[in-house]
Amino acid sequence: MQPDSPAPKRMVRFLLGSRSDWHLTRPRWPRLRSGLHLVGPIAVALSTLASYVAFAGATGDGGSVALGLWVGAASIILMSWSFLLAVRLRWMERFFGGLDSIYRVHRWAGTLAVVLMFLHTSIEPEIEGGIRGASRSVAETAEDLAGTGELMIYGLVALSLVRIFPYRLWRLTHKLLGIPFAFACWHFFTAEKPYANASAWGWWFGFWMIAGIVAYLARVFVRDMAARGQEFQVVAAEHSGSTTRLELKPLGRPLGHQTGQFAFLKLKTSGMSEPHPFTIASSPHRTNLVFYIRHLGDWSQRLTTLHLIGTRATLEGPYGQFQPHSPDHEPSLWIAGGVGITPFLAALDTDEPILQRPTLLYAVRSVENNPIVDLLMDAERQGRVKLRIFTSETGRLTPAALDEEFPNGLAGVHVALCGPNGLVTSMADAAAARGAAAIETEDFDIRQGFGPERSTEIDSVLKRGLQRTQVVLSQAD
């Protein structure tokens, strides 16, 4: 057997990345504080846990029949919640604490649903004296479909977790999750249970099954295909280093955003119609909207290859409840990394006097030819912010900077953080340890997962392969 050539080996090493790329980042649990934002997570937990009562008296082979039946039902309820939250209903934000928190609950509900589904199939509960929801032949067919759906959902979840898979293809496969969910619902409806489908418990679980399917259809066929959003037009596009600045003017009514909010942007040009979330970097008092977009994936990198002036765009939103300034007029500390500076740019984009000048700690790769740094320096010269910049040359941003800027601790200080997950997690923990009055964070990574980000390169290979296939087919004709 011939040894592998250097080129395939380099390709494999490139695709797999380094060991750190596969490190699972620990979840950043939100710091609990009382408020309306707890209503949503509590509703998810209670609707799932309370359903155990329906199966508490079930008996059969083994002592885990009730548990086995309940985890199957709980899996359906959690998956239904996951679909409901994915619809991005703006009125739900107040009950979860923002769209980033909604997506966090969405991911955990979906993950736990898959885990509980695995437990259900592992236990294989066989109830004695149960009430069948349909004839034996229909129930057996539904069980077979559920088994097929189980394998399907494992594959789809695996694709969701591995970031090598291109983003646009991940979005496409993610939309298929409703199929195994429908199979699971049909199996649950027809299987033997301690109650009849026409009973109160039957209506309870029927509600969740119908709600999940309706939410799935609404997301795929209404939100993604039919919903238009608000119309805008690109009036400026400036590329600087790894960032593109876009300015859009409304073609109808303004978006009506608040400082710190974001919107999902679609460009009406070939290959750019999938929505991506970006924080609005301009003040709510401005008619035009400004976005700073970092070139991190295939969509954002394509911006540099297109003539964008005059391009139509649609925006969905605004979303988010991130608050750079304290609502109680406390002193503010802002901590930002990279393009995470955008909500703070919106807060500084004002002609009104700032009563309490915030302190801004900004971590960025370089200050050379950086228009964002120029804006921040102008704001500091005008007395609107106290600025301190950290680069690889001047030194990394670490918790020690908090002690240097606030030697007496952060008691009574409103802290707002936005940027890479590692920076936000470490600095939020450090701020909490120093007694910060309130800590505002925002998790913008909707996909998450692990592994190196190779979507751009993989997408390029797939496109070249498709083009070659089309050439071969055309020649064959």
Give 458: exposed, middle or buried? Use CB within 10 Å, 0-12, 13-18, 19+: middle
Q: Which of 319, 346, 366 is where one domain is finished?
A: 319
| Distance, CA of 471 to CA of 477 (rounded, Å) | 10
Largest CA distance in the chain: 79
Closest CA to 214 of 44, 74, 40, 83: 83
Q: What is the CATH number of the domain that holds 382?
A: 3.40.50.80
| Distance, CA of 476 to CA of 34 (rounded, Å) | 67
Cβ-proximal residues to 163 (8 Å cutoff; 6+ apart), any chain: 447, 449, 450, 451, 452, 453, 454, 455
In a domain, 463, yes or no: no
Are 201 and 247 in a shared domain?
A: no
In a domain, 242, yes or no: yes
In a domain, 461, yes or no: no
Q: Which of 296, 319, 342 is where one domain is finished?
A: 319
pLDDT for the residue 4: 47
Are 115 and 262 in a shared domain?
A: no
- Spans of the chain below 70 pLDDT: 1-8, 10-12, 14-34, 62-63, 163, 165-168, 226-227, 351-354, 443-464, 466-467, 470-471, 473, 475-477
Are 295 and 314 in a shared domain?
A: yes
In a domain, 468, yes or no: no
DSSP secondary structure letter of residue 287: S
The number of distinct structural domains making up the chain is 3
Are 218 and 145 in a shared domain?
A: yes
Q: Is 367 helix (H, G, I), strand (E, B) or coil?
A: coil
φ/ψ of 100, rounded to 5, equals: -65, -40
Are 369 and 425 in a shared domain?
A: yes
| Distance, CA of 273 to CA of 289 (rounded, Å) | 19
Are 36 and 162 in a shared domain?
A: yes
In a domain, 78, yes or no: yes
Are 247 and 127 in a shared domain?
A: no
In a domain, 87, yes or no: yes
Are 282 and 380 in a shared domain?
A: no
Owning domain of residue 124: 29-223
pLDDT for the residue 3: 46
Q: Which of 409, 425, 440 is where one domain is finished?
A: 440
In a domain, 77, yes or no: yes
Pairing of strands 332-337, 359-363: parallel
Are 345 and 310 in a shared domain?
A: no
Are 200 and 51 in a shared domain?
A: yes
Pairing of strands 414-418, 332-337: parallel
Are 52 and 134 in a shared domain?
A: yes
Are 367 and 315 in a shared domain?
A: no
